[in-house]
Amino acid sequence: MNLSPLIDELIESFRCLPGVGPKSAQRMALQLLERNRPGAARLSQALDTALASVGHCAQCRTLTEEPLCRVCSSDKRDDSLCCVVETPGDVYAIEQAGSYRGLYFVLMGHLSPIDGIGPDELGLDALFSRVESGKVKELIIACNPTIEGDATAYYIADNLKGQDIIVSRIAHGIPVGGELEYVDGGTLSHALAGRKRLAGGAQGE
Amino acid sequence: MESRITLQPAYLLHRIPFQNSSLIVDLFTRDYGRVRAVAKGARGAKSRSRALLQPFQPLLVSLTGRSELKTLTGVEAMHQSLRLDSTRLFSGLYVNELLSRLLPNHAVHEALYGIYQDTLVALQGDSPLDHTLRYFELSLLAQLGYGISFEVLGDPPQSLESSSYYRFDPKQGFSPCSACEDAFLGAEVIALRDGNLEDLSGARAAKRLLRMALADHLGSKPLSSRSLFGKPRHSGSPQ
């Protein structure tokens, strides 16, 4: 059925969104054209301007339309802390959690040799030169707890050995409100290995 | 190959995101060799297989389907996941990259499965890294039918002399030559054949020889896991 090439093109364009199949794409396209033309105009304009002006922050490489993103240019952030994450989505997640006051470095992926992504493809040199510039005192690696994330973390840590900087990795463990019985074995053994002392021993925390 | 496989021992070699919440997984199974399958919903927030579908985790997988691409219907952990740290993790990734580049789909390689498993266990322990990797490379070539023939070309083939020098051609084999940079000392080649890699120059020669032999089958695209082993950028870091 080919009623209108323009509408077909619009439906087809919506399908580039994650989780949108032919049926939802058709609903979205018809909704905008039938009932919400101002909304459609706004969407189209927002897409246009965002595409034209959003690029990467010169310091942390997250997505932003400014040369330096809001976090990097803020004077309320602790610039001795730098959190290494895989994607801009991870920055949003940590910001929404609200407990971190340091800066970020976005890798835009992880080391995955089998996919042909090595240290050069990931541009890890930018991270190392930022560390060399001297302000960062602690690098917190917040890569995903996958084999590729582990490899990325070990690679960064190995390359910063002997430098005057603390390299740490975020803990892996049981989700808040979770039940031990239903947690997978891998997470549970990580959680046990990274346990925290509550009392006792010579020096408490 | 049967259309239904249940609780088959396997390791995951590689996973590729597929559609919104699924994965395409490359599995090395014990009885069916390398098999590709779709793991539906495995990336979803509620997926229970997400933690299991990782490399170096001994699995029991159930698959269905008649076509080349199977559907993963079940996955269970057989044992605890192998824990590899730092260089040993990079070595594990190297072994996986080698397998995924060289292992054909649906060819049964039961012996190689055992060798792969032993290699991972050795990587997890504190055995010398060089030995483990060279032994794996040598066995991989042999199991895939590209085994190195440790004899000197000729009719009839001669055995290697420990004090002579040889040139190695991956397609043909060893031929005598004079001592030069590219040549291999007979003793080093014999040491590799017999699995004696304690001596440092022998280990280096073995690495060079196996690189040449593997390069012939890997084609022009380099192995990217090798870049992980590169020298640390900063001096003062012992490695």
Q: Is residue B171 domain-shared with residue B208, that is, in the same domain?
A: yes
Shared domain check, A160 and A86: yes
Cβ atoms of A142 and A83 closer than 8 Å: yes
What's the gap between Cα A116 and its chain centre? 20
Domain check: are A87 and A163 in the same one? yes
Q: Which residues of B touch A114 (CB under 8 A)?
A: 13-14, 93, 96-97, 100, 224-225
Boundary (domain end) residue, out of B19, B50, B77: B77
Q: Any idea what the CATH number is for the domain that residue A42 is in?
A: 1.10.8.420
Answer with the residue of higher pLDDT: A141 or B190. Answer: A141
Q: Residue B61 in contact with residue B49, Cβ under 8 Å?
A: no
| In the predicted structure, residue B234 carries a pLDDT above the cut 70 | no
Q: Is residue A197 part of a domain?
A: no
Asked if A9 and A26 touch (Cβ cutoff 8 Å), the reply is no
Output the pLDDT for position B61: 94
Tell me: pLDDT of B218 over 50: yes
Q: Do B120 and B208 have their domain in common? A: yes
Domain of B194, in residue numbers: 86-234
Claim to verify: residue B215 and residue B125 sit in the same structural domain: yes
* Residues A74, A14 share a domain: no
Determine the Cα–Cα distance for residues A205 and A192; give it in Å rounded to an integer.
Answer: 18
Q: Name the closest residue on chain B to residue A131, using Cα atoms.
A: B234
Residue A180 lies in a domain: no
Mutant choice from B95, B220, B224 vs A, greatest count of A C-beta within 10 A: B224
Provide the domain count of chain B. Answer: 2
Q: Which of A53, A72, A92 is the last residue of a domain?
A: A53
Residue A144 pLDDT > 50 = yes
Q: Of A12-26, A72-86, A103-117, B176-190, give the lowest mean pLDDT range.
A: B176-190
Residue B126 half-sphere exposure, CB side, CA atoms within 13 Å? Answer: 0
Residue B121, classed as helix, strand or coil, is helix
Which of B14, B43, B77 represents a domain boundary (last residue)? B77
CA-only gyration radius of chain B, Å: 20
Asked whether residue A203 is assigned to any structural domain, the reply reads no
Q: Is residue B72 classed as helix, strand or coil in its secondary structure?
A: strand
Number of domains in chain A: 2
Tell me the average pLDDT across B45-63. 87
B227 vs A138, more confident: A138
The CATH number linked to A109 is 3.40.1360.10
Tokens matching residue B234: 């900063």
Does residue A74 fall inside a structural domain?
Answer: yes
Whole-prediction pTM: 0.85
A113 CB neighbours in chain B (<8 A) are 93-94, 97, 223-225, 227-228
- Does B194 share its domain with B112? yes
Final residue before a domain boundary, out of B77, B99, B128: B77
Residues B106 and B179 in one domain: yes
Q: Is residue A93 part of a domain?
A: yes
Token readout for A205 is 């925390």
- Residues of chain B contacting residue A186, judged by C-beta atoms under 8 Å apart: 51-52, 54, 57, 80-81
Q: How many residues does chain A have?
A: 205
Establish if B236 touches chain A: CB-CB under 8 angstroms: yes
pLDDT of res. B92: 93
Same structural domain, B37 and B129: no
Question: Which of B80, B89, B239 is facing A189, going by the closest CB pair?
Answer: B80
Q: How many CB atoms lie within 10 A of CB B143?
A: 19
Is residue B46's pLDDT more than 80?
A: no
Tokens (6 digits) for A27: 């609903």
Higher pLDDT, B169 or A154: A154
Indicate if the pLDDT at residue A47 is higher than 50.
yes
- Evaluate whether residue B239 is within a structural domain: no
CATH number at residue B62: 2.40.50.140
Question: By the CB < 8 Å criterion, does B2 face chain A?
Answer: no
DSSP annotation of A117 reads B
Residue A111 in any domain: the answer is yes
Here the ipTM equals: 0.82
CB of B181 within 8 Å of a chain A CB? The answer is no
pLDDT at residue B233, as a whole number:
55
Strands B165-169 and B69-77 turn out to be unpaired
User: Which residues form the domain of A78?
Assistant: 63-172+185-190
Chain A contact for B178, CB < 8 A? no
Regarding whether A72 and A43 lie in a shared domain, the answer is no
Both A46 and A132 in a single domain? no
Q: Are residues B37 and B92 in the same domain?
A: no
User: Taking all residues of chain A, what is their mean pLDDT, rounded to a whole number?
Assistant: 90
Q: Looking at the structure, do residues B106 and B192 belong to the same domain, yes or no?
A: yes
Asked if B138 and B56 sit in the same domain, the reply is no
Residues in chain B: 239
CA-wise closest residue to A155 among A124, A121, A116? A124
Q: Both A90 and A141 in a single domain?
A: yes
